[in-house]
Amino acid sequence: MPRLRPRQTSRSTAEVIRALARRFEQAQLHYGHGTENALDEAAWLVSHVLRIAPDRLARRFDKPVIPSRIKVIDSLAAERIQSRKPLAYLLKEAWFAGRPYYVDERVIVPRSLTGEFILERFRPWINTKRVQRILDLCTGSGCMAIACAHAFPKARVEAADVSAEALAVARINIKRHRVGRRVQLLRSDLFQALKGKRYDVIVTNPPYVARPEMKSLPREYRHEPELALASGRDGLDAIKRILAEAAEHLTFGGILIGEVGNSAVALQKKFPSVPFVWLTSSSGDESVFLLTAEELQHHQGALIRPG
């Protein structure tokens, strides 16, 4: 497989990206951890090595890449292809809601569609002026909690996860983003350690992969912690528990926003009487639902039913 040639000093940034994308295509990599195709993956790697924000990379497409940087790009590309690790783990960086976060293999790579709705401050579903307390359940890297803290600068945010290792990563990100005064980390198995606490907004991106599907996931996903992915036979174990208890932790007029990926159809089928509002992302995806505190309370009988 051809490698980038560091001796050529005249290769532009755009040329390096295109060559790298062809290399990724030939290797038949799988994407979905921050990018959706080989070209975007290549651009991300190059922008990181050149220390340029992805949204500013186009400004230097015509500028040459020096040999020492090409050597670093080449090394990272080789490791990406050989190991099949998500690029975010190799770079120790992932972008979410317009900001970079530290990540490693203790957490899944941030890619939640919920980020779009955080940036919109969940309008028109809640009066933004009344949001004082927010919970990020299954926080992982802490990216959603931190994004909420930026979107609601007057609110206090709690970020809960059952994994002590995940919370250690979240702690790094809270320090980097300087939101430690308003974002509190809690170790909790869903709502277990949150007795008596109520929030205006609860956001969650819980595990939602059906266990039989775990074996068929591309190699890239095998590097992520299984605890953050697998959720029982039908992928709904975690979200069923969340739905059963969420009403007890929301204030009047509060909202629950949950992302369930490809388990959205199974969830709707499981609770046909529950009026899930499926939020549409900019890409047309509809795997993030919204329910109000009152809807959760009204349908609690159906939601707490075993099965």
Contact 52, 4 (CB under 8 A): no
Answer whether 150's CB lies under 8 Å from 144's CB. Answer: no
Q: Please tell me the predicted confidence (pLDDT) of residue 132.
A: 97
Cα 162 to Cα 189: distance, rounded to the nearest angstrom: 5
| Tens place of pLDDT per residue across the chain (307 aa) | 555 554 445 689 999 999 999 999 999 999 999 999 999 999 999 999 999 988 889 899 999 999 999 999 999 999 999 999 999 999 999 999 999 999 999 999 999 899 999 999 999 999 999 999 999 999 999 999 999 999 999 999 999 999 999 999 999 999 999 999 999 999 999 999 999 999 999 999 999 999 889 989 999 999 999 999 999 999 999 999 999 999 999 999 999 999 999 899 999 999 999 999 999 998 898 999 999 999 999 999 889 865 5
Beta-bridge mates of residue 230: 209
The owner of tokens 């992932």 is: 94
Please tell me the predicted confidence (pLDDT) of residue 53: 86
Cross-strand pairs, 94: 101
| One-letter amino acid of 152 | F
Please name every residue paired with 184 in a beta bridge, in sequence order, or none if there are none. 158
**What is d(CA 196, CA 183) in angstroms, rounded to the nearest whole number?**
19
Q: How far apart are CA 41 and CA 36, in angstroms?
A: 8
Res 9: pLDDT: 53
Alpha-carbon distance of 174 to 208, in angstroms, equals 25
What contacts 285, CB < 8 A, 6 or more positions away?
A: 113
**What is the 8-class DSSP label of residue 108?**
P
- In whole angstroms, how far apart are CA 72 and each of 68, 76, 177, 301? 7, 6, 27, 57
**Tokens at residue 146, please?**
């931190």
Please give the Cα distance from 180 to 234 (Å, whole number).
37
Report all structural domains of the chain as residue ranges with CATH numbers, in order of start: 13-87 (1.10.8), 94-303 (3.40.50.150)
So what's the pLDDT on residue 2? 53
pLDDT score at 3? 58
